[in-house]
Amino acid sequence: MRILDGQPSVYDTVIIGGGLLGCFCALNLARCSLKTLLLEKREDVCTGISKANTAVIYPGYDNRPGTLKTTLTLKANRDFEKLCQKLNVSFSRCGSLLISEGPKGRQTVEKKYRQGIENQIPGLKLLSARELSELEPGLTPKASLGLYAPSAGTVHPWELCIAAWEAAKELGAQTMFHSEVTGICKKDAYFHLEINHKHTVLSRSVINCAGILADQVQALYTEPVIRIRPELAEYMLFEPEKKDLLKHIIFYETEEKGISLVPTLNGKILAGPVNRPANADSPLSTSDAGQKKLLAESEKILPKIAEEKKLRSFSGLRPNPYDPADPQRSLRGMEPLITDTKDGLISLIGIKTPGLTCSHELGKLIRDKVLDFLHIDPVVKEIPPRPVFREYSENPACQKILCRCEGITSGEVLDAIQRGATTIDGVKKRTGSGMGLCQGSHCSPRIAEILSSTLSVPMEQITKDGPGSCYLSPGCQRNLL
């Protein structure tokens, strides 16, 4: 294998995986002036686990007092507004209601209230059925007890991930897309990472944030002590006519674990998840059974949601970590999921809820582990202002509306491409295009044309969301506008 041409011979750290954890690790290591490289097998960041979740910033009452998960969640929640302000990311501290139905659900609510009080979560309050109805008039009358947590919030996961990546780049972190790690070994003081079976990069340390494949990446170097059993999580998105139909995040506790309803930052209502077994290569499809269950559960919580438009359904992979020595026992907590080989390779295997909430705090934790291993005592720089891309969106010649539902202009699409979008969904993550009632049926062909002309890529090679999702089949009409 040859050293990758045109790249520095040795990095201080290489991060595998461009999801939320990988991008926040890159940001926090770049803040210390470490020579940092982010490797991502796909064409963009935020294409795996990070792109499909409930987008909730959790208050921390779910976690047992004194654990690492609790410590990180509480600090992350407290500081989330400051983080979003620095990264210029939207955030709503809308609060949450954990509602119960039945004796078991009531016991769960009471237990989480006690945990929350012990964890010193601000503003926690148990609410009667009447008080619940006053806060959320549309809630099911069967809800007998609720736990109000004003510190819960919601964010756009895509926007947060991309913002962290852009800030890391501003601080000098480098990125290589289309770069799958196919081998890892250590010779002398350096890790040799084989990329796409062709090239090698060298690094003094490695951080494995490969998401659903993190255990497989770890196995390239040493036998992992944690394995991942993937699950497919299904979601449903509603477009309410009345924007105040739901004001708070709703967690539903019945005799079985229920779903969540989340008022999104762009005025939609997200329902989910419903989980089913999968594997790392499972297509991201939904099922009739899963969608029927989501709709039925949503109507139980918020009966009037049955009258609202169902925008779309989608799914995403979620990790379910387990100990190979005891495959039937799922692992809980965060401590066992952060593994350190003690010679410079750190893996985050099976991190899930509240991974989004804790992504920045986990990035700082991993940064400190790397600095300790490298014996570096750095000056930690502030997070820089997020780069502004308005070259086209402020150009009078680029004001044509492409996405009529969300009001996205051709200039905003061009700016998104300048920021790194190479797919239709890449533009969507950066602008919000295709998220309205028509779900991109009007704007997607126009965006595909702009991607093709701007990137000098044949229309047949433009994809919706990376490999296997070509927007047009060869021979289709190219002039779609």
Q: What is the DSSP letter of 57?
A: E
pLDDT at 315 over 90: yes
Q: What is the 3-state secondary structure (H, E, C) of 446-462?
A: HHHHHHHHHHCCCHHHC
Neighbours of 103 (CB within 10 A): 10
- Answer yes or no: is 470 within a domain: no
Residue 255 is predicted with a pLDDT of: 56
pLDDT at 479 over 80: no
Residue 481 is predicted with a pLDDT of: 47
Which of 294, 317, 340 is the last residue in one of the domains? 317
311 plus 333 within the same structural domain: no
222 plus 327 within the same structural domain: yes
245 plus 307 within the same structural domain: yes
The CATH number covering residue 107 comes to 3.30.9.10
Can you tell me the distance from the alpha carbon of 251 to that of 257, in angstroms, rounded to the nearest whole number? Answer: 9
- Answer yes or no: is 243 within a domain: yes
**Overall average pLDDT of the 450-475 stretch:** 88
> Hey, is 273 helix, strand or coil?
strand
Residue 253 is predicted with a pLDDT of: 81
Residue 473 is predicted with a pLDDT of: 64
Residues in CB range of 295: below 8 A, 6 or more apart: 236, 271, 306, 310
pLDDT at 203 over 80: yes
pLDDT digits (tens, 9 = 90+) for 421-449: 999 999 999 999 999 889 999 999 999 99
How many domains are there within the chain? 3
* Burial annotation 295-332 (CB, 10 A radius, 16+ → b, else e): bebbebbbeebeebebbebbbbbbbbbbeeeeeeeebe
User: Token digits for 438?
Assistant: 């028509």
Structure-model confidence comparison of residues 47 and 253, the more confident one: 47
- Answer yes or no: is 183 within a domain: yes
367 phi and psi angles, rounded to 5 deg: -55, -45
Residue 256 is predicted with a pLDDT of: 63
348 phi and psi angles, rounded to 5 deg: -110, 100
148 plus 241 within the same structural domain: yes
pLDDT at 1 over 60: no
The CATH number covering residue 400 comes to 1.10.10.1100
**Overall average pLDDT of the 47-66 stretch:** 93
Residue 415 is predicted with a pLDDT of: 94
Task: Give the residue carrying structure tokens 């997020």.
Answer: 386
The CATH number covering residue 339 comes to 3.50.50.60
**Overall average pLDDT of the 257-273 stretch:** 93
143 plus 253 within the same structural domain: yes
pLDDT digits (tens, 9 = 90+) for 343-378: 999 999 999 889 999 999 999 999 999 999 999 999
- Answer yes or no: is 234 within a domain: yes
- Answer yes or no: is 478 within a domain: no
Residue 143 is predicted with a pLDDT of: 92
pLDDT over 90 percentage in the chain: 78
Task: Kindly indicate the confidence band of residue 474, based on its pLDDT and cuts at 50, 70 and 90.
Answer: low
Q: Of 2-6, 79-83, 317-321, 325-329, where does mean pLDDT reach its minimum?
A: 2-6
197 plus 343 within the same structural domain: yes
Can you tell me the distance from the alpha carbon of 480 to that of 363, in angstroms, rounded to the nearest whole number? Answer: 43
235 plus 313 within the same structural domain: yes
User: What pTM was estimated for this model as a whole?
Assistant: 0.94
222 plus 235 within the same structural domain: no
Adjacency order of strands within the sheet including 249-253: 125-128, 145-149, 96-100, 249-253, 257-263, 269-277, 231-239, 309-318
pLDDT digits (tens, 9 = 90+) for 105-146: 889 999 999 999 999 999 999 999 999 999 999 999 999 999
96 plus 143 within the same structural domain: yes
Structure-model confidence comparison of residues 210 and 8, the more confident one: 210
pLDDT at 303 over 60: yes
- Answer yes or no: is 203 within a domain: yes
**Overall average pLDDT of the 459-466 stretch:** 93
Adjacency order of strands within the sheet including 338-340: 174-176, 36-39, 13-16, 206-208, 345-348, 338-340
Task: Kindly indicate the confidence band of residue 478, based on its pLDDT and cuts at 50, 70 and 90.
Answer: very low
300 plus 338 within the same structural domain: no
- Answer yes or no: is 75 within a domain: no
User: Token digits for 210?
Assistant: 């490969």
- Answer yes or no: is 286 within a domain: yes
257 plus 312 within the same structural domain: yes
pLDDT at 394 over 90: no
Can you tell me the distance from the alpha carbon of 326 to that of 324, in angstroms, rounded to the nearest whole number? Answer: 5
**Overall average pLDDT of the 474-478 stretch:** 50
**Overall average pLDDT of the 381-397 stretch:** 85
Residue 8 is predicted with a pLDDT of: 46
Range of the domain at 408: 396-461
Residue 7 is predicted with a pLDDT of: 52
Can you tell me the distance from the alpha carbon of 15 to that of 318, in angstroms, rounded to the nearest whole number? Answer: 20
The kind and range of the H/E element at 338 are: strand 338-340
238 plus 307 within the same structural domain: yes
With beta carbons less than 8 A apart as the criterion, state whether 179 and 196 touch: yes
Write down the mean pLDDT value for the chain: 92
